[in-house]
């Protein structure tokens, strides 16, 4: 007997009983983003490797350790996308979208070779948002308020917002030298990864998870000390807006994010309910990336949220999965079974939002009713010889003790429409 083939470790099937939570998250996100004027964009899963080396940075864990890269048949190096921002920027440049401000969003799978654990997968899904051509702090604030609104609609009330500013390139360059000098004086106490980053990407040392390195970093100089008036004003405008909107936050001077392209505002929404993998949404400003990838200088701000982590939180919070169907059509007898498919089509025409499952494969009345109940449907619609002769259908509620009734087609369509209005 041949061995069963299983999914690749860290890449999971999303089964039907789970998909309702995904739909609720995606539909709610789409509604919120549409209300703020954001348009959806979809980009390929595979890009040239150089796109991510140039955007994310070659001295990052993602590029050095985590990308799924391969050589295609003509010798080009290609990679499964590890994040969505670079692809979105590439598409915006390629199709000439940046001649005016753009508000875009996307969703879909990303890929990173990481050790699978709760909330971290090798294939994972993100919903991402990118705003181009807007330099002021008002767009930073808008996207922070947008995420806060999404959490309210989804019923999340325990997320913690942390924000920081990384300054502009000139400010960061001065700070970088001071940070290197400080860390070099403690080089014998740094972990191997931090030593490697010391002269290539020292800000990433601030984000080290090594306990001993964290003790050293605690006394390091902060970037706030090197910010100019314009950067401080930009950051204060965001803080003032969050205060006025009554959105709680904490300024975390060690928050740097893991990608090289960020400047000024960065943020994370964090939960304590998923263990170590507590960041559910993160992003920031990246004013130099468009030019870095060949476009005209364009300010930009964006974020991405982890779909699997948010779905897990929805499940932990007891979000119910709605019935997969509204009604199950039971047909007993040859004549009824022959008439059932066309009758079902008439019902779908009359009640477009109806989720109707028609029994197939024959069977007794009792066996069909068992399958109707197992389907999760709210109603069983019964078509037998008597109903066929009277041009009616029986309606049997399956989720409460309401009485069964018999309705003609027009009355049945009106009844189902009313029930679905209550459902929605």
Which H helix or E strand runs over 206?
none
150-171 per-residue burial string, b: 16 or more CB within 10 A, e: under 16: bbeebebeebebbbbbbbbeeb
DSSP of 394-421, one letter per residue? EEEESSS-PPPEEEEHHHHHHHHHHHHH
Structural element, H or E, at residue 102: strand 102-111
Q: Is the pLDDT of residue 47 over 70?
A: yes
Q: What is the mean pLDDT of residues 127-139?
A: 96
The first and second tokens of residue 252, run together, are: 């975390």
Which among 289, 223, 284, 264 is positioned nearest to 57, based on CA atoms? 289
Nearest to 266 by CA among 228, 232, 237, 301: 301
Report d(CA 103, CA 128) in Å as an integer: 11
> Which alpha helices (DSSP H) does 97-136 contain, by range?
none
pTM: 0.83
Q: How many CA atoms lie within 13 A of 152 on its CB side?
A: 9
pLDDT at 320: 66
pLDDT digit string, tens, across residues 84-127: 999 999 999 999 999 999 999 999 999 998 777 666 789 999 99
Residues 206-262: pLDDT tens digits?
777 788 888 887 878 888 888 889 999 999 999 999 999 999 999 988 887 656 678
Distance from C-alpha of 18 to C-alpha of 109, rounded to nearest angstrom: 17
What is the crossing angle of helices 307-316 and 16-35, to 10°?
110
Averaged confidence pLDDT in the chain: 88
| Distance in angstroms (rounded) separating the CA atoms of residues 187 and 254 | 19
Q: Of all residues in the chain, what percent carry a pLDDT higher than 90? A: 50
Q: What is residue 137's predicted lDDT score, i.e. its pLDDT?
A: 95
Cβ pair 134, 232 in contact under 8 A: no
């Amino acid at each position: 007997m041949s061995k069963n083939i299983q999914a690749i470790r860290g890449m999971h099937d999303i089964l039907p009983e789970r998909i309702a939570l995904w739909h609720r998250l995606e539909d709610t996100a789409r509604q919120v983003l549409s209300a703020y004027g954001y348009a959806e964009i979809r980009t390929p899963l595979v890009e040239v490797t150089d796109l991510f080396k140039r955007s994310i940075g070659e001295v990052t864990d993602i590029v050095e350790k985590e990308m799924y890269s391969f050589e295609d048949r003509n010798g080009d190096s290609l990679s499964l996308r590890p994040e969505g921002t670079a692809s979105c920027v590439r598409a915006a440049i390629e199709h000439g979208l940046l001649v005016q401000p753009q508000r875009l969003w996307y969703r879909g799978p990303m890929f990173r070779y990481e050790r699978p654990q709760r909330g971290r997968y090798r294939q994972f899904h993100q919903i991402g948002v990118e705003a181009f051509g807007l330099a002021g702090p008002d767009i930073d604030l808008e996207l922070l308020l947008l995420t806060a609104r999404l959490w309210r609609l989804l019923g999340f009330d325990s997320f913690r917002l942390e924000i920081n500013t990384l300054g502009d390139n000139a400010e960061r360059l001065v700070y970088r030298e001071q940070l290197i000098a400080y860390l070099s004086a403690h080089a014998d106490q740094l972990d191997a990864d931090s030593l490697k980053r010391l002269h290539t990407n020292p800000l990433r040392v601030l984000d080290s998870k090594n306990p001993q390195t964290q003790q050293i970093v605690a006394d390091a100089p902060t970037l706030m000390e090197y910010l100019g008036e314009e950067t401080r004003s930009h950051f204060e405008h965001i803080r003032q807006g969050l205060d006025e909107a009554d959105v709680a936050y904490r300024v975390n001077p060690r928050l740097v994010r893991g990608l090289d392209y960020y400047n000024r505002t960065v943020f994370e929404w964090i939960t304590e309910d998923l263990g170590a993998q507590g960041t559910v949404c993160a992003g920031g400003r990246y004013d130099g990336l468009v030019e870095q990838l060949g476009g005209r200088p364009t300010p930009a701000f964006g974020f991405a949220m982890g779909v699997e982590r948010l779905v897990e939180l929805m499940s932990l919070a007891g979000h119910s999965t709605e019935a997969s169907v509204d009604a199950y059509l039971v047909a007993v007898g040859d004549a009824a079974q022959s008439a059932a498919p066309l009758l079902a089509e008439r019902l779908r025409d009359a009640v477009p939002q109806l989720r109707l499952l028609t029994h197939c494969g024959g069977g007794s009345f009792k066996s069909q009713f068992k399958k109707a109940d197992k389907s999760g449907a709210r109603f069983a619609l019964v078509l037998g010889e008597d109903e066929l002769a009277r041009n009616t259908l029986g309606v049997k509620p399956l989720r409460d003790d309401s009485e069964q009734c018999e309705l003609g087609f027009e009355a049945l369509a009106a009844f189902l429409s009313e029930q679905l209005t209550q459902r929605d």
